[in-house]
Each structure stands twice: as C-alpha cells, then as structure tokens.
Structure 1
Amino acid sequence: MPSLSELIRRLDELDDDGTLFAARPWSAGSDAACAVEDHESKEAVEAGMTYLLEVSMAQEVVQTWGAWHGGRTPSTTEAVRAVIYYAEHDTYPPG
C-alpha cells in the first residue's frame, strides 16, 4: 500500500476524478489510497482510511502553494503538509 507521500509525489499522474483517502493521524507516512470508483472508496474505508481530499483539489492546493512561494515547486514534504493543512482547515496554509 502506498504512503500519502508517495501519492502526493505522483499527484499529477492520478485520475483527476479520484479521491484521496489516508489513515489517521494524517502524515507523510500514512497508508493511503486513491479511489475513483465507489467500491475503491469502500475498500479504503474498510482498510481504516478516512477521506482526505479530492485529487483535483489536492493538485490545486499544491499549485497555490507554488504560486505563493514565488513559483517554486514544493518538495514532497511541503506538498504533503499543504494538502493535510487544507484537509484539516478547509483553507490554504499560510504563506
């Protein structure tokens, strides 16, 4: 099973219609899944994961982070932190 960090690293390769799930407490090392179909979502929940964010929203969070940091591409760690922050606070992390 991939970690949240692995999925965030491959975010641009994931289906835009997908949903990210991860085991709590959310961290870079959390077990994670990208579900596109309802049965995949059910499997993720049965595996102890909770809804984190839609893939398209996670992509937007990472792009916004870059825009707020002079166009710099975030490291995987920075991207994971930004996505988790957004999932927990429903807003972008402070610049």
Structure 2
Amino acid sequence: MATLVEVIATLDGIPDGDPYDVEPTIFVRKPWTAYSEAVVLNEDAVNGVAPSAPAFAYLLEVDLAKEVIRVWREWRAGAVPTPEQATQAVIFYGDTTRINLSRRSFVASANRQIRASRTAAMCGR
C-alpha cells in the first residue's frame, strides 16, 4: 500500500477525472500524516469514507490536491515543494476545509444526481 507522500509525489501521473463521472479522489487512513496509507479511488465518499475501503477517510479530489500544490508554488515565487512539503500542504488544506459529514453526503448525492441528469440529457432522455 502506498503512503500519502508517495501518492502526492505521483499526482501528475493521475489523469484528471471526466466532469460527467466520479473524479479520482484521495482517501487516507487516519490520523493523516505524510506516511499514512493512502489510495486513489474513482468513487465519492459516503459518510466521509471510501465505500469500497471504509478504513480510508476522504481527503481531497486529485484535481484539488494538484491545485493546492500549484498555489503553494505561486505563493513561494515558483519554488518546487519537496514531497513532504506538498503532502503537508494537501493535509492542511483538507483539514481546514473540512465540512460536516452530513453536508458532504448531501454534496456527493447531489453530484450523482447532476451526473445522472447530464447523462440523460446527452442521451436525449
């Protein structure tokens, strides 16, 4: 199993998700540290965890983690973070933007409904 720092170090190799499908999402065993076990799954969190791996808690979508690192670089005049610095930035962002589980479940449910509506519209239903 990969650690979070290993996952963060390979983010550029993970393709962005399809806007009409579930985005690749980072899930991590708590407590969140650079060396906690982590997985990237194409599934929405349910009650704050990965449905297929309930021991892993939602951290961030891959595209948001990439954005966190991009902003970290901008704020530091283009400096390249070490894998540990990038990981700490992602953990910090994930922690500080945490929303309650009921809202996250609501958002995940709304996202599924939006994707279903878009798919139906594209198919002419």
Q: TM-score, normalised by structure 1?
A: 0.85
Within 2, Cα distance between the matches of 1:20 and 1:63? 17
**In the alignment, is the contact (CA less than 8 A) between 1:33 and 1:44 conserved in 2?**
no
Which stretches of structure 1, 4 residues or longer, exceed 6 Å deviation after superposition?
A: none
Q: What is the CA–CA distance in structure 2 between the aligned matches of 1:74 and 1:63, rounded to whole Å? A: 10
Equivalent of residue 63 in structure 1, options 52, 70, 73: 70
* Aligned-partner Cα distance in 2 for 1:88–1:32: 16
**Which one of 38, 53, 74 corresponds to residue 44 of structure 1?**
53
Instruction: State the structure with more CA Rg.
Output: 2
**Unmatched segments (≥5 aa) in structure 1:** none
2:70 & 2:28 partners in 1: Cα distance? Answer: 21
Q: 1:89 to 1:37 in 2, by over 3 A?
A: closer
Count of equivalent residues: 87
Following superposition, the deviation at residue 44 of structure 1 comes to 2.5
RMSD, aligned α-carbons: 1.5
Q: In the TM superposition, what whole-angstrom CA distance separates every residue of 1:14-62 from its partner, at most 9, and x where no partner exists? A: 1322000000000011110000146xx42222xx110000000000000
What fraction of aligned residue pairs are identical, expressed as a percent? 39
TM-score by length of 2: 0.65
| Aligned twin of 2:34 | 28
Which structure ranks higher in relative contact order (CA pairs < 8 Å, sequence separation ≥ 6)?
A: 1
Q: 5+ unaligned residues in a row in structure 2: which ranges?
A: 18-23, 45-49, 99-125
